[in-house]
Structure 1
């Protein structure tokens, strides 16, 4: 909110003649971007409380707080492990609890429609309602239900995604490319396979600021869970292939933009045989050809496949069985099933094979030049397009009640009309302190901030914003989580 400073009761009258002429440098200096003063878009329609801190030339950090605590706790009955489902399943769960002497009630909710996924209705069966300071009583109800053979869990009502008073605790980092003289980069840390904290990756790069990047694969072996789910380009090198059609953040020098992409990776043998490489730096599925780079940081899978070890120019140094190291300066073509046969037939030692990589912008149909200044980070869901809310949950693989409607901690990235980069963390999972945001609320927030394009990155316990080496938000795990990749702001 704008403020006026009064010095005692003195009134100063300033005439045009008394104002020194602006120098050419001062006149040309762009105005500092500030948070909107209009009503906050979530909760009660009033202005938010905000604090500002200058981080570096062109980089500003804002703390935004809004709303008040009001939601309490309930107990949700589980239906095959889920807390919501069809009306019939919810009624059956409620009736089971009533038969055991518990006053269960049916709750109907509406999951809002988004750009590529229609509105839907769901149902929950719930028992009881307790204020914020009585979570222990809700936990006691879960215990009693368990003794009666009924599965349930404690739910904070603020997580539901329906109407709430908040509160919200948000950090907004703005980077003005007209003033900032550094650059933007993606980082996977020391290796693709291992997870690292955002602050660790920021420290390695000497970054001024950083946020966590996209989602990573939690459904693979533990030592490989740093692998991005989707595209990753670091300083011009493709280190993880895209899921075609999903949203991504394209970084080059100090410019950022958001689009949908696909990747095309092929290999052509010296005998003219050409085939697709379907994966980069991930575990191979049956009948797949996967490329491993020296950044992978783990042995290739020992899966009875075949491998061709390549030098930097594509020369085949060695044919070997699967399950070996990727030495510095080399790449490894790894084939399973019929693609192992392709390697044995078309990647002979001392031959040269050509690996071609393209990242295609699906909005323009053109290839994105993979220069050393180019990085790409995959997003979880597109949020804003051309200044309007446009949540692409289905295209981005997140079309569910939990991802669209429920509130979680969020990390968001947006670009304004003037090219300003906005990085946002919305803290959550702290009842009474901050509730997080749904996908729809995240889109609304980014439009309020002035983003013309915006994307959702990984959230939950992964959400972290680092400024000058220290977290400025509060990760919901209580400490920083190791993640797959990060977006860095470097000098």
Structure 2
């Protein structure tokens, strides 16, 4: 945990009052919650309302990518002053399972109070594993407890957090890359939204770019840009499979109706080609959707033509899930925004220990203001992360762990005041060796 030094008695007193107010809800309480319950912190603080920040009169910044909520702008204060006047409660640690630990603490500086929840996961411990947790179809959403339930993603879940940014106002599908250990590659893009957390075939975690690699054997010139994405890149060609769900019509072409085409491939042959996009129909086979030049290229295919469509991910990871920005790369902070505060979720890797660090920062509450991107990266670096990635935040920020009674419960305070339905999550499993 970070060491702090005081600069001025006045600044320290102000920070102490903030951290005392934040600590009133008690990060160490972390009771065992029934599935889908909100943490007692929310119920115990009736004076707070969803979306309330440290100062409702504060200047508003840009909206969060997924939920469109504007973030409060943090006061411009020298970093040395903020660090010197910062205070922290003693961390409260609990063992979730062998190899998985939960740590909670509060901090405060002249910008306001913050609450942190940290999962430390050691993938080298026998029985511990990380996986993608998603709904039954890519174009669907569910609350994190539902996604982590045995009915959706198998037994053995001991913890998890929300994952990728997603198309919250339309299809609900995630924006980036997703690979499940059991189900394989579910969604991906050739470019954009490819920054991901992944685990390789040897079980080693890494953070980097994980783009789609797709091709058509008989037509190597076809440019495949998307797999089960909320929309096809302009000029590109998207692949849609049964994992997507039912066809979404012109929603996947961003409303574009001219210069589009669909080609349905089944059993390695073209069985249908049309200039109109169907909606609400089951996908039986591989559906190719083109826009502009992509549609023109698809228009040269004829019914009955042989077509072998293949896809995978660069680097061949065993599992992968995207975020939007790399926070830390090879020990260096890569983000620059130190003004806009939101609830945040991040994942990082400590190369010295091999541990995976999963952090959530509560925000939009009077007792926890959220964090800027620079603050998030700095916290991850202080915790030991050599690489770190920003996952979806805002009202999506949710962390769940298994309690002493064996049930999964929420340990942070989602800013909506209720559990948001999200596109996917990161699943932490523990299965006793030989069990």
Indicate which of 191, 194, 215 corresponds to 2:165. Answer: 215
1:67 aligns with 2:108: yes
1:255 aligns with 2:204: yes
Q: Equivalent residue of 2:295, what SS?
A: helix
Q: Is the 8 A contact 2:95 2:101 kept in 1?
A: yes
1:292 paired residue number = 240
Indicate which of 279, 295, 298 corresponds to 1:343. Answer: 298
Q: Is the 8 A contact 1:231 1:243 kept in 2?
A: no
For residues 5-34 of structure 1, what are the alpha-carbon distances to aligned partners after superposition, in whole Å with 9 as ceiling and x for unaligned?
Answer: xxxxxxxxxxxxxxxxxxxxxxxxxxxxxx
1:353 aligns with 2:307: yes
1:127 paired residue number = none
Indicate which of 365, 370, 375 corresponds to 1:430. Answer: 365
Q: Equivalent residue of 1:295, what SS?
A: helix
Indicate which of 409, 421, 424 corresponds to 1:482. Answer: 421
Q: Equivalent residue of 2:388, what SS?
A: strand
Q: Is the 8 A contact 1:415 1:454 kept in 2?
A: yes
Alignment CA distance shift 1:390-1:60 (3 Å): same
Scaled by the length of structure 2, the TM-score of the pair is 0.68
Alignment CA distance shift 1:411-1:323 (3 Å): same
For residues 262-296 of structure 1, what are the alpha-carbon distances to aligned partners after superposition, in whole Å with 9 as ceiling and x for unaligned?
Answer: 33323243xx5631112222334654321101111
Q: Equivalent residue of 2:421, what SS?
A: coil
1:466 aligns with 2:400: yes
Indicate which of 267, 270, 277 corresponds to 1:316. Answer: 270
For residues 433-487 of structure 1, what are the alpha-carbon distances to aligned partners after superposition, in whole Å with 9 as ceiling and x for unaligned?
Answer: 1111111111110111111111111111110001132111110110111112211
Q: Is the 8 A contact 1:416 1:451 kept in 2?
A: yes
Alignment CA distance shift 1:51-1:285 (3 Å): closer
Q: Following superposition of structure 1 onto structure 2, how do residues 43-442 of structure 1 map, counting pairs within 5 Å?
A: 44-67=85-108, 163-164=110-111, 166-203=112-149, 204-205=152-153, 206=155, 207-218=157-168, 221=170, 224=171, 226-235=172-181, 236-244=184-192, 246-252=194-200, 254-269=203-218, 272=219, 274-281=221-228, 282-284=230-232, 287-302=235-250, 303=257, 305-311=260-266, 314-320=268-274, 321-324=276-279, 327=282, 330-346=285-301, 348-360=302-314, 368-369=315-316, 374-391=318-335, 404-417=338-351, 418-431=353-366, 433-442=367-376
Alignment CA distance shift 1:263-1:240 (3 Å): closer
For residues 364-421 of structure 1, what are the alpha-carbon distances to aligned partners after superposition, in whole Å with 9 as ceiling and x for unaligned?
Answer: xxxx125xxx222111221112233232x6xxxxxxxxx6421111101011112101
| Higher RCO, Cα 8 Å, sep 6+ | 2
Alignment CA distance shift 1:490-1:350 (3 Å): farther
1:85 paired residue number = none
Q: Is the 8 A contact 2:232 2:291 kept in 1?
A: yes
For residues 46-98 of structure 1, what are the alpha-carbon distances to aligned partners after superposition, in whole Å with 9 as ceiling and x for unaligned?
Answer: 55321111111111111112237xxxxxxxxxxxxxxxxxxxxxxxxxxxxxx
Specify every segment of 5 or more residues in structure 2 that has no aligned partner in the other structure, as ranges.
2-81, 251-256, 403-407, 431-435
For residues 101-145 of structure 1, what are the alpha-carbon distances to aligned partners after superposition, in whole Å with 9 as ceiling and x for unaligned?
Answer: xxxxxxxxxxxxxxxxxxxxxxxxxxxxxxxxxxxxxxxxxxxxx
1:136 paired residue number = none
Q: Is the 8 A contact 1:460 1:476 kept in 2?
A: yes
- Name the count of aligned residue pairs: 328
Alignment CA distance shift 1:229-1:242 (3 Å): farther
Provide the rounded CA distance (Å) in 2 between the counterparts of 1:245 and 1:487: 17
Following TM superposition, by how much is the alpha carbon of 1:326 offset from its aligned partner in structure 2, in angstroms? 6.1
Following TM superposition, by how much is the alpha carbon of 1:247 offset from its aligned partner in structure 2, in angstroms? 2.2
Provide the rounded CA distance (Å) in 1 between the counterparts of 2:144 and 2:388: 21
Q: Is the 8 A contact 1:230 1:242 kept in 2?
A: no
Q: Is the 8 A contact 2:177 2:193 kept in 1?
A: no
Scaled by the length of structure 1, the TM-score of the pair is 0.61
Alignment CA distance shift 1:340-1:260 (3 Å): closer
For residues 178-219 of structure 1, what are the alpha-carbon distances to aligned partners after superposition, in whole Å with 9 as ceiling and x for unaligned?
Answer: 22513211133122112222211111223221100121124x
Alignment CA distance shift 1:62-1:231 (3 Å): same
